Chain A
Amino acid sequence: MELFLQTNSQVSFSFSSHESCSAVKRKGSGTSLEPHFTECISRNQETFRCWWNPGDFHNLSSPGALRVFYLKKDSPTSEWKECPEYIHSNRECFFDVNHTSIWIPYCMQLRSQNNITYFNEDDCFTVENIVHPDPPVSLNWTLLNISPSGLTYDVMVNWEPPPSADVGTGWMRLVYEIQYREKNTTGSWESLETQPHTQQTVYGLHIGKEYEVHIRCRMQAFTKFGEFSDSIYVLVTEVPNKESTFPLLLVFVFGVVGILVLIMLIIVSQQHRIMMILLPPIPAPKIKGIDPELLKKGKLVELNFILSGGGMGGLPTYAPDFYQDEPWVEFIEVDAEDADAGEREDNQASDTQRLLGVHQPIGHHMNIGCANTIGFPDDDSGRASCYDPDLPEQDALLLMTTLLPGQPEDGDSSFDIVERATAPERGDRPLDQTQTGASQTWVNTDFYAQVSNVMPSGGVVLSPGQHLRIQESGLVTEEETHKKGKENKGGEETEDKNPKELQFQLLLVDPEGSGYTSDSSNRQINTPPSSPVPGEGYQTIHPQLVETKPAATAEGNQSPYILPDSPQCPFFAPVADYTVVQEMDSEHSLLLNPPPPRHSPPPSLTQQHPLKALPSMPVGYITPDLLGNLTP
């Protein structure tokens, strides 16, 4: 009230006081009720209606007895106007769009026929303040979820705004209020908070109870709600859907467990096979003839014993059958017939010259082939594959020619020679015998001559082969095979190859010796000047050594070949791998040991049976196969 007294506005002051007084007056007037307006409502903020009541003045109840006038205060000079549209059946005055203005105060007045005015200040308003929106339409609900306990559930209620309200253009912005209660009860309605969206969740409804839901709306930031919509009924009964999930889970779990058990059974039953696939066994070290257990356990002493040829077990290394499966075993095939022809030729030429390689290569008489069980023919009869390219062909061939063991029929003589070679006192006799036999058995002698010692004068001391060598005919094969290998690999093999129980002695070829070796030969030999391997007592005569032979031999007329005494030369241990050059004849040609007696048919120089074709090979040769086994 204080504010009113302070106002400076004359009009407002007077008006307010008058208005309050008039209001008081009316209320205190007593029982008669003047005609009045019951309500003025707008539904869409574009039109509005007013209803009046004649009150106790029943004589004014007839249509037309009371007239409605309104004052629209949009200018100071506005006047009262009559209702634009009467609806007498309702005692309603309707103001259409053209007569409706927002934000402008309206005042309503009732006048009787005799100009009695019934006016109430309360009947003034602005249209936006009398808006009661229509109720929302299309009310429906959907079940959201049921609580785990199965006692309550949630529901989503959605609806549409009233079609009369222009919500699209934003002319009216509505907020909605949901109310619900249990059906068939007279309880009060539960009200949810007003919110502007057209859907809302109702939580905590009970299963089995039916609920009644309705909605009303009002304009945002205004106070007047519209009417409630028609009620909808929400009811959810118990649905046994819990059990459907439970057995599914059980089935799933059991299925998984069963599959796992199956997998385990398969793994256990097929354990070995799986292990084979996953972890293939590593091949154990194997040497033919040696117990793998020895190799595994690393008993070096025993291994050495075996490998060096001791004991009875021995390594059946010279059996030609062994090498049927070894395609890479290299050996040299010798054509016996050609060898004989060549022998005759050789007899004509000097041995020395043959050794020196002066003559034409007689390689065409020789079949030098590799022991290839596959039967792989080379264009150059296998020479390339088995041949050391560094070596001059001629020299090799010459050497082969000269060092070939003799014919089988001379085996006895060679055998004797070998035997006698061990006895140092048989100095010249072996020489003679070998000399006699050498002419016949020249071709069949061993490929290599065993140099026992190198004389200071330049002579080469060759030691005879071991008698033990004869015992094993297989060594012949090895000899031929080994010849090639020897040429190629030089002195390395001498150390490494000791496939039998025969003991070999390794004699180092002194490159600085009196011209017996050349630098190239040294290279070829590649013998480490270290200690000779105990038990190995032979060395190779390099083809190039042969070249220097004549020089050496020329130095001294004496035979450069001296049969050493056993005590002097400890390396007279049984030498089997090489043909021992027993003596040099007067023509300075090497006389080699005759081959041991052959127990097998003459060699058929076919590549199909390369191994069998070399029985004349003196024993003592190590084939590459064995070489490989012995290589540490």
Chain B
Amino acid sequence: MSANIRKVWVEVVCVLLCSSLSGVCSAPLCMNGQNGCHILSLSDLFDRVIQHSARMHGISNDLHSEFEQYFLPSKNQIGRVSRNCHTSTILTPNGKENAQRMARQELTEVILKLLLAWRDPLWHFHQSMAHHPDFNKFSSNKALEMSDMAHELRKGVEKVAEKMQMLGIISNSVSSLASPEAPLPANGHKWRLMKDYDLLYCFRRDSNKVQNYLKILKCRIVPEHGC
């Protein structure tokens, strides 16, 4: 009996601690600028994620160029035209005007969907790169970096979405989508069929999409000169 009571107490304490910790974790990092940390504005957050996405796209481009040398170099980096990326089911705006016309919330959702869709494929790509004899260490490192970047970028965009929710720019439905428990797209296993070169091609394309979408989103939400 006493052991049970003790267990119950421990559980209660744990629950309380966990709830408090989760509360702390979910709370923003800075509370009104205390302890010397300054609150980032939405503009700063956007700049950060845009820089991040630019870097990610650059790495994917480098890796893709490396891969291309093993094959016949195509004129327009098209390679095989009929590639089917696993993310092709995600509806994405295919032009500047389309992206500008799209609602902010939808655009944010699209970005998060894309990034989420690439979480597992990039990880496995890195694994295969690390064990492949044809590629040197630099390529393997780049693949790992790319994978990490995609992960961080997704977190960053989630933060931006949170901030936008706080500011009332978008509604709450984005966060539910971006939660880790969100199910992958239906053809989630399709990427296993892709191979590294195609994966790189697709990811290069998608990273460019993400970069452009973020830029357009920032211009719409945080107006600055030239927008």
Q: Tell me the A residues contacting B by CB distance below 8 Å.
A: 1, 3-4, 6-9, 11-12, 15-16, 19-20, 23, 45-46, 73-74, 97, 100-105, 107, 121-122, 124-126, 128-130, 166-171, 173, 220-223
Q: Which residue of A lies closest to B84 (CB)?
A: A9
Give which listed residue, A19, A102, A221, contacts B95 with CB less than 8 A.
A102
A19, B94: Cβ atoms closer than 8 Å: no
Distance to closest chain B CB from A49 (angstroms): 14
A103, B208: Cβ atoms closer than 8 Å: yes
Give complex CA distance A104, B93 in Å. 11
Contacts A97-B97, A101-B94, A220-B58; A171 near B78 (Cβ below 8 A): no
A15, B82: Cβ atoms closer than 8 Å: yes
Q: Which residues does chain B contribute within 8 Å of A15, judged by CB atoms?
A: 80-82
* Residues of B76-103 whose CB lies within 8 A of A: 76-78, 80-84, 92, 94-97, 100
Q: Which residues does chain A contribute within 8 Å of B196, judged by CB atoms?
A: 3
Q: Which residues does chain A contribute within 8 Å of B164, judged by CB atoms?
A: none
Q: Which residue of B lies closest to A71 (CB)?
A: B81
Distance to closest chain B CB from A94 (angstroms): 16
Q: Which residues does chain B contribute within 8 Å of A121, judged by CB atoms?
A: 81
B61, A167: Cβ atoms closer than 8 Å: no
Give which listed residue, B197, B198, B216, contacts A171 with CB less than 8 A.
B216
A74, B94: Cβ atoms closer than 8 Å: yes
Give complex CA distance A571, B65 in Å. 133
Give which listed residue, A8, A12, A221, contacts B80 with CB less than 8 A.
A12
Q: Tell me the B residues contacting A by CB distance below 8 Å.
A: 50, 54, 57-58, 61, 65, 70-72, 74-78, 80-84, 92, 94-97, 100, 193, 195-198, 205, 208-209, 212, 215-216, 218-219, 225-227
Distance to closest chain A CB from B44 (angstroms): 16
Q: Which residues does chain A contribute within 8 Å of B216, judged by CB atoms?
A: 169-171
B82, A170: Cβ atoms closer than 8 Å: no
Q: Which residues does chain B contribute within 8 Å of A46, judged by CB atoms?
A: 95-97
Give complex CA distance A11, B84 in Å. 10
Q: Which residues does chain B contribute within 8 Å of A166, judged by CB atoms?
A: 96
A126, B76: Cβ atoms closer than 8 Å: yes
B61, A170: Cβ atoms closer than 8 Å: no
Q: Which residue of A lies closest to B72 (CB)?
A: A20
Give complex CA distance A424, B198 in Å. 151
Q: Which residue of A lies closest to B92 (CB)?
A: A103
B208, A128: Cβ atoms closer than 8 Å: yes
Q: Which residues does chain A contribute within 8 Å of B58, judged by CB atoms?
A: 220-221
Contacts A100-B95, A171-B216; A122 near B57 (Cβ below 8 A): no
Give complex CA distance A605, B79 in Å. 139
B81, A170: Cβ atoms closer than 8 Å: no
Distance to closest chain A CB from B191 (angstroms): 12
Q: Which residues does chain B contribute within 8 Å of A73, judged by CB atoms?
A: 81-82
A19, B80: Cβ atoms closer than 8 Å: yes
Q: Which residues does chain A contribute within 8 Å of B82, judged by CB atoms?
A: 11-12, 15, 73, 105
* A and B contact pairs by CB, cutoff 8 A, 12 listed: A45-B96, A46-B95, A46-B96, A105-B82, A125-B78, A170-B215, A170-B219, A171-B96, A171-B215, A220-B54, A221-B58, A223-B65
Q: Which residues does chain B contribute within 8 Å of A1, judged by CB atoms?
A: 71
Contacts A3-B195, A126-B76, A170-B212; A103 near B61 (Cβ below 8 A): no
Contacts A3-B197, A168-B226; A12 near B83 (Cβ below 8 A): yes
Give complex CA distance A620, B72 in Å. 139
Give which listed residue, A6, A16, A122, contacts B75 with CB less than 8 A.
A122
A104, B215: Cβ atoms closer than 8 Å: no
Give complex CA distance A6, B92 in Å. 30
B205, A126: Cβ atoms closer than 8 Å: yes
Contacts A169-B219, A170-B215, A221-B208; A124 near B84 (Cβ below 8 A): no
Q: Which 8 A-B pairs have the closest CB atoms?
A: A168-B226, A170-B215, A125-B76, A101-B94, A124-B81, A122-B75, A221-B61, A169-B219
Distance to closest chain A CB from B26 (angstroms): 31
Contacts A3-B195, A9-B193, A125-B78; A222 near B61 (Cβ below 8 A): yes
Distance to closest chain B CB from A619 (angstroms): 94
Give complex CA distance A124, B80 in Å. 9
Contacts A73-B82, A168-B226, A220-B54; A124 near B76 (Cβ below 8 A): yes
Give complex CA distance A56, B82 in Å. 30
B218, A130: Cβ atoms closer than 8 Å: no
Q: Which residues does chain A contribute within 8 Å of B212, judged by CB atoms?
A: 102, 170-171
- Supplied contacts A15-B81, A101-B94, 7 more A-B pairs, CB within 8 Å: A1-B71, A101-B95, A125-B75, A125-B78, A126-B78, A169-B215, A169-B227
Q: Which residues does chain A contribute within 8 Å of B50, judged by CB atoms?
A: 170
Distance to closest chain A CB from B168 (angstroms): 23
Give complex CA distance A12, B92 in Å. 23
Distance to closest chain B CB from A505 (angstroms): 92
B227, A130: Cβ atoms closer than 8 Å: no
Distance to closest chain A CB from B142 (angstroms): 14
Q: Which residues does chain B contribute within 8 Å of A16, judged by CB atoms?
A: 80
Give complex CA distance A46, B99 in Å. 12
Q: Which residues does chain B contribute within 8 Å of A130, judged by CB atoms?
A: 76
Distance to closest chain A CB from B54 (angstroms): 7
A167, B226: Cβ atoms closer than 8 Å: yes
Distance to closest chain A CB from B23 (angstroms): 37
Give complex CA distance A15, B78 in Å. 13
B97, A122: Cβ atoms closer than 8 Å: no
Q: Which residues does chain B contribute within 8 Å of A168, judged by CB atoms?
A: 219, 225-227
Give complex CA distance A104, B82 in Å. 10
